[in-house]
Amino acid sequence: MQKNTKIPEAYFPFPSHVTLKHLKDVVNQTADIQTPSYVIDEAVLESNLQILKKIKKETGCKILLALKAFSLRATFPLMGEYLDGVCASGIFEARLGYEDFKKEVHTFSPAFSQRDIKDVIKYSDVVIFNSFAQLREFGALVKKAGKQVGLRVNPMLSKSPKLLYSPCVAKSRLGVTAEQFKGEDLSLVDGFHFHALCEQDADSLQEVLKKFERDFGKYLPNLKWLNMGGGHHISRKDYKVDLLVKLVKNIKSKYGVQVLLEPGEGVVLNAGYLAATVLDIVQNKGNVAIIDASAETHAPDVLGMPYQPCIIGAAKGTEKKYVYRIGGPSCLAGDVFGDYSFNTPLKPGQKILFTDMALYTFVKNTTFNGIPLPNIGILDKKGNYKVVKKFGYEDFKSKL
């Protein structure tokens, strides 16, 4: 990540509000930071939030941040200016939303325990159940506390490109199917929730909605709201915003319900980087660069999805002259980000900057192998960088 790194125009998969000049500025502004570090780009984050604000204004829908994808407290004041609250996937996320985001908290879990349910109710405005059994067991407690009750339904149609992320496969544990509604009491239910997308456009939502309406539309006139879940790639460069607006407006007018969306990735898309330093170059039928950031521990979705992140100034594969396999410092043989090519040779001590590293990184990272966790910092709109969280040996020790 040398200063004035040349970034190829042809390899630029960023939305229009992330300009080539902006990325060059980011390279220069982060050239001297300690690595490994996650860097949140406040300018891109706010641009994404402005897109969401526009959708809210045009449709009257509510938009929640999915904490499972991104939960950096230091950004909550900014995000709270644009979003209506958060959706939580468990008791600790619910508490974080309640104490630090300080707006609406909607909490879903595949199953709540007797031990946790009272605190979940305390911290949540809406509690969403995954089965009629849990609704019968805990629904009255939620109502007694003056909170709203939701029920997750499964439309059994997902456009997810990977089965691992599809909640609509056979034997899925997520959501009630239409066949299970027979004879059940919905008197405690204020709204339905479904989630069937993964990094997808509005045309995928349109297909899912058709199936959802066939199976569950008859219940909506008696409900207050419909939560369409996450997986909406709203801030992507080519996302069909107009179609999303049309779909939301149609559901609202047709059934008289409030519509909620809960994107995670769509809120912070392209708004984060992972800065790393080249530690060594080894040879094994090609160049292998070992860096101080790990796919296994610092960006686990690289191996879990799997996918190959971009590096500013590099191309994936062999397009450029100097080709390297980029790998991390852990003992896992597969701790590899992928093959990249550069205009000039990499050298030990040189920094590189992975893009789109705000989402599903520090919320999922680990201390496997005793590898230090990266710092977390914010690059503000004026180009000033500030570390907001440092990790050390005690973080590793206390976890054990």
The CA distance from 258 to 253, in Å, is: 9
At 39, list the tokens. Answer: 């860097």
What residue type is assigned to position 247 of the chain? L
pLDDT of residue 303 exceeding 50, the answer is: yes
The CA distance from 108 to 246, in Å, is: 27
Burial of 69-107, coded b for 16+ CB within 10 Å and e otherwise, reads bbbbeebbebbbebbbbbbbebbebbbbbbeebebbbbb
Return the higher-pLDDT residue of 7 and 45. Answer: 45
Residue 10 is predicted with a pLDDT of 37
- Residues 337 and 302 sit within 8 Å (Cβ to Cβ): yes
Beta strands in 314-374, from DSSP E residues, in sequence order: 315-316, 322-327, 336-342, 351-355
Q: Which residue stretches of the chain are H helix? A: 20-29, 42-59, 76-80, 91-96, 117-123, 132-144, 202-216, 241-255, 265-268, 295-298, 301-304, 393-399
Mean pLDDT of 80-104: 98
Residue 240 is predicted with a pLDDT of 96
DSSP 35: S
- Residues 268 and 45 sit within 8 Å (Cβ to Cβ): yes
Residue 16 is predicted with a pLDDT of 62
The CA distance from 326 to 123, in Å, is: 43
At 377, list the tokens. Answer: 């910092």
Residue 153's nearest CA partner among 171, 133, 180, 127 is 180
DSSP 372: P
The CA distance from 79 to 96, in Å, is: 14
pLDDT bin (cut points 50, 70, 90) of residue 15 is low
pLDDT of residue 9 exceeding 70, the answer is: no
Domains of the chain: 20-32+271-399 (2.40.37.10), 43-267 (3.20.20.10)
pLDDT bin (cut points 50, 70, 90) of residue 145 is very high
Mean pLDDT of 97-121: 98
Over pLDDT 90: what percentage of the chain?
Answer: 90
Average of per-residue pLDDT values in the chain? 94
Residue 106 parent element (H or E): strand 104-108
Helix, coil or strand: residue 396: helix
At 355, list the tokens. Answer: 């893009």
Contacts of 285 (CB under 8 A, 6+ apart): none
At 184, list the tokens. Answer: 């059940």
Mean pLDDT of 282-291: 98
At 389, list the tokens. Answer: 């969280």
- Residues 45 and 271 sit within 8 Å (Cβ to Cβ): yes
pLDDT bin (cut points 50, 70, 90) of residue 165 is confident
> Tokens 């410092």 — which residue?
329
- How many angstroms separate the Cα of 88 from the Cα of each of 66, 286, 343, 349? 7, 45, 44, 40
pLDDT of residue 277 exceeding 80, the answer is: yes
- How many angstroms separate the Cα of 117 from the Cα of each of 67, 108, 122, 137, 149? 19, 11, 9, 10, 13
| 275 phi, psi to nearest 5 deg | -90, 135
**Conformation bin of residue 144: beta by default, left when phi > 0, alpha when psi is -120 to 50:** alpha
pLDDT of residue 5 exceeding 80, the answer is: no
Question: 111, exposed or middle or buried, with CB in 10 Å at 0-12, 13-18, 19+?
Answer: exposed
Residue 2 is predicted with a pLDDT of 40
